Chain A
Amino acid sequence: MSRIITEVAPGTARAAKRRARWLPFPYLYVVPAVAMFVLFVAYPILWVIGKSLHGSGSSRPNAFVGLNHYWQLFQDPVFWRVLLNMFLWGLITIPVQMVIGGTIAYLIETYTTRSKTFFRVMFFLPVITSVSVVAIVWSQMYAPYYGIIQQYAKLVGIPLTNSPLGDPNLAIYALIVVNVWQWTGFSMIMYVAGLTNIPSELWDAAKIDGARGWQLATRVIVPLLSPVTRSLLLLGVIGTLQTFPIVHLMTEGGPDHASEIFGTYIFKQGFVIGDIGYASALSTLTLIIALALSVIQIVFFGARLSPNRKGFV
């Protein structure tokens, strides 16, 4: 680069600097990335926003309807149910996964030696298991009459004849349990990475100072793992808003919308009912919520998500 600048700008240093600023090469280097972003991220988002402002279906094809879909959304009781479910989902799954995953990671890293890899793999296994398999296995476990959960409950004298998936009051919680089971291993592996990154001198210093057990955990480990926790929080919020397959496969958002979430409701409106305009409005709102939550997290918790990259913003 400097060679080119010297050749094309033989004048004063300031003139050379000014001209160098306008050379196209630095911009050309980012063109592929920008083009990919525009093609696969920006354009679809703009397309969806555009669709949310237009009618769909045979009765009002492509007519401009302004913010009508958004207005309808706020009047739609199912939308509020979706918001509540999403709130519950995030509120329960994110901290529970963190606590269980962090505890498992701590136990594995502290109390195992040769079997460390075995336990890491075992707890991580649900994360890489197909969602379809998870859905079928848990549906069978919840099933009345022959489900394993019902069988164990029967052994201790509790007759469970209903599947929680069919109970409007329990369906969302039954799905949250499945989600926690599947994704705790991810939190665990993140915390394992965080724990192995803590310098051994810090462990030794803390132990010499007399830190043990709960004190060691809360005063040393938890603060040092805060970048991992922040990453998990950010990923958890995004993951919550992206949830779809497990709910679609196990309840399809039912019964009577009791376990409806953004993913299933968007799918139902867009692909089953065919109202792309309404589905696009829902998608746009989901995007806005995701953006807002991410910005809030970055503003309040900072954006340093890795303990190894101080100053990364």
Chain B
Amino acid sequence: MKMHRIAVALCGLACLLAPCANGVGNDEITVWSWFISSTMDKASKAFEEKNPGLKVKYTYYNYSPEYLTALKAAAASNSLPDIIGLQPGSLTQQYREQLVALNAYAAKEWGDDWTAQMFPVALKQLTMGNPPNDPNYYLLPQECQVLAIWYNKDIFQKLGLTVPQTYQELVNAAKSLSDHGYIPLYQGAADGWQNENVFLMIANQLAPGLVEQAQAGKAPWASPALIAAMEAWGKLFKDRVFQEGALGARAYPTGAQLFAQGRIGMMALGSWWMQESKFPPPLSRFIQNMSGFDFFYFPALTPGGKPSPPVGGIDIGYGLTKNGAKNPQAWKFLAALVKGVALQQALNDLNDLPAFAGFEPQGDITPNVKQLYDRFIDDLPHAENQRFAHPEVADALDNALAGVASGKVSPEDALKRVQEVTDKTLK
């Protein structure tokens, strides 16, 4: 009798826990991501108001190591939530086996020509790293970004500086900033992603699209243009355009805080910097309405050359897991995140740019912020790809950039190492 009771109790417990394990409750949608919680809460609320009875259960993780380890453990134990936050390329490819193809879902929701309004760079990134002949989309983009050099307008005005048009003007501006006690161009070079971003700005100025070809094995990493880009990268350290000690510095939180406080002249960030103006007060006077900031693209490195083109792509996207495919409500929320009420909340918080044309932030958006936003949106259709299909290649490039920055490795040797890793990865 006693055993019978224990068995009944265990069955009851199992029934209670079962929906939690896979998140397959009919009215609950489970989502994991590194996306800012306060904005996701607004997005969830807007979705729940539009879909009474449905409930979004969002779990926020720091990207590394928490999110990466949580995903890996959940994938191994088949307990992934319904929807997971993704970046195109390597992160998506690691979980491709656990994700469902979204092409048919999207076509059914938005019609066969649903990709027509998607920005080209985002569309291109959707299949990055897919096996040959696999045209499926395993993530859908929510937001895009454009990389840029932001600068503090007030400091520039005070020192009589203008937006640099040539590399020499950039060096001069950096010197002037340093001489007056400001940090010139802050580089959080301890963060691989920031180094990649600056390198991509430089490389795409010298040879648009060449990095993309090199990572796909269609062009050598030791191409003259990429060697020149690597040399230019190293010069930014030698010429003190970046602050001294950049290799030990981090973009977040240190750099961002100093930039917001007006101690930095320039910083390589992206369109997401606008969201700072929507953070809870107190905000510095520079951050309020973004009135202290403006942006430019990397100036021409060679006499008569052109500045860097916009570089960017998907900031964040979402994938539907195989567990999520069993929950009919999960797709509804994913669709809302990509092209619905949930996206609108993210845009209203100026989190970043939409992945589809035709969306705009609403609510309390000042004219200054609006003009910044519009300039980014105008540039996004022409953006070069900033993402890598294979994490091994991105990691090798990160190490190559650090090696060159430290002066320990020559540009040629650094790119040779990247080539070796690329060859091994693509083999």
Contacts and interface: CB of A to CB of B under 8 A. Distances in A.
Interface of A: 58-59, 139-140, 142-145, 161-168, 171, 248, 251-252, 254-257, 267-268, 270-275
Chain B CB within 10 A, most for which of A163, A164, A166, A248: A166
> Main SS of chain B's interface residues?
helix
Nearest to A272: B391
A143 B254 contact: yes
B147 interface: no
Given A255-B405, A256-B409, A273 B395 contact: yes
B363 to A, nearest CB: 34
A140 B65 CA distance: 21
B395 A256 contact: no
Contacts of B93: 58, 274
A248 B69 CA distance: 13
Interface string B60-84: 0000110011001000000000000
B266 interface: no
A251 B191 CA distance: 9
Given A162-B244, A255-B403, A271-B69, 14 more contacts: A59-B427, A145-B183, A162-B245, A165-B248, A166-B245, A166-B249, A167-B247, A168-B408, A251-B248, A252-B192, A254-B192, A254-B398, A256-B402, A256-B408
A165 B190 CA distance: 8
A254 B402 contact: yes
B72 A271 contact: yes
B189 interface: yes
Nearest to B134: A58
A-B interface, 9 closest residue pairs, ranked by CB to CB distance from nearest: A166-B248, A163-B248, A166-B247, A144-B245, A161-B244, A165-B248, A255-B402, A162-B245, A256-B402
B236 interface: no
Nearest to B183: A145
Contacts of B406: 166-168, 255-256
A166 B189 contact: yes
A145 B186 CA distance: 12
B250 interface: yes
B395 A143 contact: no
Interface of B: 64-65, 68-69, 72, 90, 93-94, 96, 129, 131, 183, 189-190, 192, 243-250, 254, 391-392, 395, 398-400, 402-403, 405-406, 408-409, 427
B196 to A, nearest CB: 13
Contacts of B65: 248, 267, 271
A255 B395 contact: no
Nearest to A164: B248
Chain B CB within 10 A, most for which of A144, A162, A254, A257: A254
A266 to B, nearest CB: 11
Contacts of B192: 252, 254
24 contacts: A58-B93, A58-B129, A139-B250, A139-B254, A143-B248, A144-B243, A145-B183, A162-B245, A164-B248, A165-B190, A166-B249, A166-B406, A251-B248, A254-B402, A255-B190, A256-B403, A257-B399, A267-B65, A272-B64, A272-B395, A273-B90, A274-B90, A274-B93, A274-B94
Nearest to A56: B94
Contacts of A59: 427
Contact of A144 (B244, B395, B400, B402): B244
B127 to A, nearest CB: 13
Contacts of B68: 271-272
A256 B399 contact: yes
Given A139-B250, A254-B402, A163 B245 contact: yes
A274 B94 CA distance: 6
Contacts of B246: 166
B190 A144 contact: no
Contacts of A254: 190, 192, 398-399, 402
A283 B244 CA distance: 37
A124 B249 CA distance: 29
A273 B72 CA distance: 12
Contact of A163 (B90, B96, B129, B247): B247
Nearest to A163: B248
A278 to B, nearest CB: 10
B248 A162 contact: yes
Chain B CB within 10 A, most for which of A144, A168, A256, A257: A256
Nearest to B182: A145
A5 B68 CA distance: 56
Contacts of A164: 248
Contacts of A161: 244-245
Nearest to B426: A59
A139 B408 CA distance: 23
B254 to A, nearest CB: 7
Contacts of A273: 90, 391-392, 395
Contacts of B244: 144, 161-162
Contacts of A270: 72
B253 to A, nearest CB: 8
Nearest to A267: B65
A267 B72 CA distance: 11
Contacts of A162: 244-245, 247-248
A284 B68 CA distance: 21
B390 to A, nearest CB: 8
Contacts of A58: 93, 96, 129, 131
Given A167-B248, A248-B65, A274-B90, A145 B243 contact: yes
Nearest to A251: B190
A156 B250 CA distance: 27
A143 B90 contact: no
Contact of B249 (A144, A171, A272): A144
Contacts of A252: 190, 192
A255 B72 contact: no
A140 B258 CA distance: 12
B391 A274 contact: yes
A145 B245 contact: yes
B289 to A, nearest CB: 27
A272 B64 CA distance: 9
A255 B247 contact: yes
B263 to A, nearest CB: 8
Contacts of B64: 272
